[in-house]
């Protein structure tokens, strides 16, 4: 009869934390109580204080050395995940595929592919219900105009978009070979990131309902159908490693699968990214947790904890849910393995939940606030330390899912390759923003002075669309015999471009306007008629003063 209310900033309780697997974490309330004979039979467990290890985190001294440098621009963070070589490869293989498909090349290049990706990211921000609305005159925005790509060209490039040669040699065991270069580029950067202390492993779904042999269904997920990805994330949401599920061809050691099962093999595969002896804390839910895995991780000085299913507790004779209910909400029980390395805790909130750990158990019971319908008020409920640490650290993958969902590229397509490509570009933006936030925190920059995800995404879009481009769009139709008179726009405010565009030294052409405006070079009070066509700002340009050059020189 009681309903829980989470603390501010806390995830759901340990039971609700496993909503994606929809597995019961405990036996039913009419579970039979184990008698003394049974307890003696389970000799591998004993009721004694758990001697927890020091579990001290010892980060590598130079891990955060890079964060001492000044902040980078949003596109510089993004380009660490998607370097120039990826766009060149996309352009080359898109041209190759168009010849194979239609007999003639689409003649695209790196610059146009960057605009294509920028347009897809823009669609994630604007989210119009129909694709063709983005080119409707009444729906035009300055953001769409900055990309400058007609609808037919966009559809043609999107239909031909490839990153590998489909007629070339490829690994038949890799079902993701069509997108492998992009995945490798993203993963390479993730492997170079310094790990935080608290990590978690969980599943993510790339939404897709089309035809695909590795498509999975996970009940309870916001997008239950799609490609399953196992991820290693920090509590901050930063992705450090991942493995896409491919069924029987998933890159897992057959020996490890035989010893620890498939789910245990996923944990050990992703945990190989974690260096031994540092003291990282790793958390996972009942889909992954098993006692042999916890023992192996402890040998590597990786401290782990997670909810665990009843059939994986090796017959640990804990108090039943019925007994804990009689003791009241907040009651708990624990048993320690005979070797003293594993502790299993059962805690009673709205219902019982089992947690296993190799470094933390009940310890000092803390208090958590819950709403009680019976009392009609908030009450304090005792909570074991393992539950508190699990709730505080297990939400990294869910946080990444949430951030991606805010500005996910929304497109309807039957091509799984396009869905995976756009999803990983969304991940690149999200991870680069989280990396920027961590860098800003090391620089002691206040939260109010940091860019939010939307502002960061818009900066990346603008850089993709304009930076390192010629800035002279191709004109369509026949030329007029006389130039059109531009409409006057009073009180037009010129905004300085972002640094990636201002200093790219490409396509900055001066033009002479009819009206004078204040020079946008810092400290100059001149009112020139000369304007930079790409940056769209007025700058002094004469024999006596060359603000145009100074403005574009870093």
Query: 398, 431, 448 — which closes off a domain?
Result: 398
Helix (H, G, I), strand (E, B) or coil at 510: strand
Q: What is the pTM of this model?
A: 0.79
Could you tell me which of 418, 369, 363, 413 has the C-alpha nearest to residue 386?
363
Helix 453-466 and helix 110-126, axial crossing angle in degrees, nearest 10: 150
Instruction: Say what percent of the chain tops pLDDT 90.
Output: 50
Q: What is the pLDDT of residue 32?
A: 36
Q: How many domains does the chain have?
A: 3
Within 10 A of 304 (CB to CB), how many other CB atoms are there? 27
Could you tell me which of 73, 537, 72 has the C-alpha nearest to residue 550?
537
Same domain, 150 and 198: no
User: Is the CB of residue 75 less than 8 Å from the CB of residue 459?
Assistant: yes
pLDDT tens for 421-453 read 999 999 999 999 999 999 999 889 999 999 999
Residue 234: pLDDT band by 50, 70, 90 thresholds? very high
Spell out a b/e string for 46-81, using b for 16 or more CB atoms within 10 Å of the CB, else e: eeeebebeeeeeeeeeeeeeeeeeebbbbbebbbbb
- Residue 377's domain comprises 16-57+194-398
* Per-residue DSSP letter, 367: E
pLDDT of residue 265 exceeding 70, the answer is yes
Residue whose tokens read 């898109």: 94
Residue 244: pLDDT band by 50, 70, 90 thresholds? very high
Residue 221: pLDDT band by 50, 70, 90 thresholds? confident
User: Is the CB of residue 147 less than 8 Å from the CB of residue 120?
Assistant: no
Same domain, 29 and 107: no
Q: What is the pLDDT of residue 488?
A: 44
Same domain, 276 and 305: yes
Same domain, 271 and 418: no
Which residues is 233 bridged to in the sheet? 200, 239
Same domain, 445 and 505: no
Q: What is the pLDDT of residue 493?
A: 55
pLDDT tens for 458-500 read 999 999 988 655 544 444 444 434 343 443 444 445 677 888 8
For the chain, give the mean pLDDT.
84
Most confident of 29-38, 51-60, 526-535: 526-535
Could you tell me which of 258, 265, 386 has the C-alpha nearest to residue 333?
386
Of the listed ranges 55-64, 126-135, 247-256, 379-388, the least confidently predicted one is 55-64
Residue 62: pLDDT band by 50, 70, 90 thresholds? low
Most confident of 21-25, 101-105, 120-124, 347-351: 120-124
Q: What is the pLDDT of residue 394?
A: 93
The whole-number average pLDDT for the span 144-166 is 90
User: Is the CB of residue 529 less than 8 Å from the CB of residue 538?
Assistant: yes
Same domain, 223 and 247: yes
Q: Is residue 300 part of a domain?
A: yes
Residues whose CB falls within 8 Å of the CB of residue 8, separated by 6 or more in sequence, listed in order: none
Q: Is residue 30 part of a domain?
A: yes
Q: What are residue 38's phi and psi, to 5 degrees?
A: -65, -40
User: Is the CB of residue 97 less than 8 Å from the CB of residue 166?
Assistant: yes
Which residues is 281 bridged to in the sheet? 198, 303
């Amino acid at each position: 009869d009681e309903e829980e209310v989470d603390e501010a900033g806390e995830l759901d309780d340990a039971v609700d934390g496993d909503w994606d697997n929809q597995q019961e974490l405990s036996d039913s309330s009419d579970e039979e109580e184990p008698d003394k004979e049974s307890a003696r039979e389970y000799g591998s467990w004993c009721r004694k204080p758990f001697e927890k290890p020091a579990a001290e985190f010892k980060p590598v001294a130079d891990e955060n050395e890079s964060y001492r440098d000044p902040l980078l621009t949003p596109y510089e963070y993004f380009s660490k995940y998607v370097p120039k070589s990826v766009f060149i490869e996309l352009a080359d293989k898109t041209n190759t595929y168009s010849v194979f498909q239609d007999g003639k090349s689409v003649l695209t290049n790196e610059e146009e592919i960057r605009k294509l990706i920028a347009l897809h990211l823009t669609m994630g921000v604007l989210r119009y219900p129909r694709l063709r609305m983005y080119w409707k005159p009444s729906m035009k925005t300055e953001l769409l105009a900055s990309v400058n790509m007609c609808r037919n060209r966009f559809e043609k490039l999107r239909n031909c978009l490839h990153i590998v040669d489909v007629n070339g040699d490829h690994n038949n065991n890799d079902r993701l070979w069509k997108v492998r270069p992009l995945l490798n580029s993203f993963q390479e950067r993730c492997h170079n990131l310094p790990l935080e202390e608290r990590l978690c492993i969980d599943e993510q779904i790339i939404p897709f309902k089309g035809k695909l042999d590795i498509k999975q269904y996970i009940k309870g997920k916001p997008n239950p159908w799609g490609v399953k990805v196992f991820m290693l994330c920090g509590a901050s949401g930063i992705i450090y490693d991942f493995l896409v599920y491919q069924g029987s061809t998933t890159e897992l050691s057959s020996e490890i699968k035989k010893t620890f099962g498939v789910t245990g093999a996923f944990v050990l595969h992703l945990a190989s990214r974690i260096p031994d002896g540092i003291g990282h804390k790793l958390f996972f839910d009942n889909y992954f947790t098993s006692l042999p895995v916890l023992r192996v991780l402890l040998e590597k000085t990786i401290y782990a904890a997670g909810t665990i299913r009843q059939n994986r507790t090796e017959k640990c004779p804990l108090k039943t849910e019925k007994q804990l209910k009689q003791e009241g909400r907040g009651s708990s029980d624990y048993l320690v393995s005979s070797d003293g390395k594993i502790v299993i805790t059962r805690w009673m909130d709205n219902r019982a939940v089992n947690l296993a750990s190799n470094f933390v158990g009940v310890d000092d019971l803390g208090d958590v606030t819950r709403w009680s319908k019976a009392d009609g008020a908030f009450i304090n409920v005792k909570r074991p330390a393992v539950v508190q640490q699990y709730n505080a650290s297990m939400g990294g993958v869910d946080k990444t899912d949430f951030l991606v969902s805010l500005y996910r590229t929304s497109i309807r397509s039957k091509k799984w390759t396009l869905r995976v490509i756009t999803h990983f570009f969304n991940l690149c933006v999200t991870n680069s923003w989280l990396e920027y936030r961590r860098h800003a925190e090391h620089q002691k920059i206040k939260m109010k002075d940091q860019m939010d995800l939307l502002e960061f995404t818009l900066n990346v879009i603008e850089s993709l669309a304009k930076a390192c481009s010629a800035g002279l769009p191709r004109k369509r139709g026949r030329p007029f015999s006389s130039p059109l008179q531009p409409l006057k726009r009073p009180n037009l405010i010129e905004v300085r471009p972002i640094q990636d565009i201002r200093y790219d030294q490409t396509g900055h052409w001066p033009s002479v306007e009819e009206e004078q405006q204040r020079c946008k070079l810092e400290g100059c009070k001149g009112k020139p008629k000369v304007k930079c066509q790409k940056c769209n700002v007025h700058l002094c340009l004469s024999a006596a003063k060359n603000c145009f050059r100074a403005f574009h020189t870093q």
